[in-house]
């Protein structure tokens, strides 16, 4: 009797898959909690001091330079999940590049961040979109208004003592090919 019970337990253990805990991510998509923490860290910094040299140490996924010429790159990117040439989980960082004087001294500054993120569940995409928006500085009240299948824009002041900027965030949530997608674009401009 005990051997039969052990056999049933062993067979059940082998053929029943364990229950999943937490949200599921498509292959190639980074952990949204890790991304949220990195976005918060970047958003709390002075973007005038962020360049292609120091940004990779702040982003948890490997980012590579793009659109480079004459000693500076206008962007850095991470392509985590690309399906049929459509980016489903990717991050893009744009830099403003100023060249000064005859020696062409180069000054870079982070100008904008674009995030594409995808999941299969509509409630999960709302959670991700709202957490990313709060991480980059959007108020809780405004983040709560983010909805599915709409494009929304938000603006707010960023005050860092003498440095005053305007943050502009665009959020769009869409549904395509059985996946929910969020597009976030954050830019900062001197006031």
Torsion of the alpha carbons at 47, 131, 126 and 78, rounded to the nearest 10: 50
Q: Are 187 and 111 in contact (CB under 8 A)?
A: yes
Q: Are 167 and 158 in contact (CB under 8 A)?
A: yes
pLDDT tens string, the chain, 191 residues long: the values are 554 443 333 333 333 333 333 456 778 889 999 999 999 999 999 898 898 889 999 999 999 988 887 777 889 999 988 888 888 999 999 998 876 765 666 778 899 999 999 999 999 999 999 999 999 999 999 999 999 988 999 999 998 777 788 999 999 999 988 899 999 999 998 87
Domain extent listing, the chain: 30-190
137, two tokens: 């500085």
- What's this model's pTM, rounded to 2 decimal places? 0.82
């Amino acid at each position: 009797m005990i051997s039969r019970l052990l056999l049933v337990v062993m067979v059940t253990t082998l053929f029943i898959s364990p229950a999943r805990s937490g949200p599921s991510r498509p292959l190639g998509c980074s952990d949204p909690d890790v991304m949220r923490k990195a976005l918060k860290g970047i958003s709390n910094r002075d973007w005038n001091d962020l360049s292609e040299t120091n940004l990779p140490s702040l982003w948890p996924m490997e980012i590579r330079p793009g659109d480079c010429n004459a000693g500076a790159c206008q962007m850095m990117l991470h392509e985590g999940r690309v399906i049929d040439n459509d980016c489903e989980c990717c991050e893009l960082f744009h830099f403003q590049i100023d060249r000064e004087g005859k020696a062409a001294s180069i000054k870079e500054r982070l100008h904008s961040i674009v995030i594409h993120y995808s999941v299969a569940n509509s409630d999960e995409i709302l959670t991700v979109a709202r957490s990313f928006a709060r991480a980059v500085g959007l108020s809780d009240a405004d983040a709560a208004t983010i909805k599915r299948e709409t494009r929304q824009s938000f603006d707010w002041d960023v005050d860092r003592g003498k440095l005053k900027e305007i943050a502009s965030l665009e959020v769009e949530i869409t549904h395509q090919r059985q996946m929910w997608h969020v597009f976030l674009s954050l830019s900062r401009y001197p006031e």
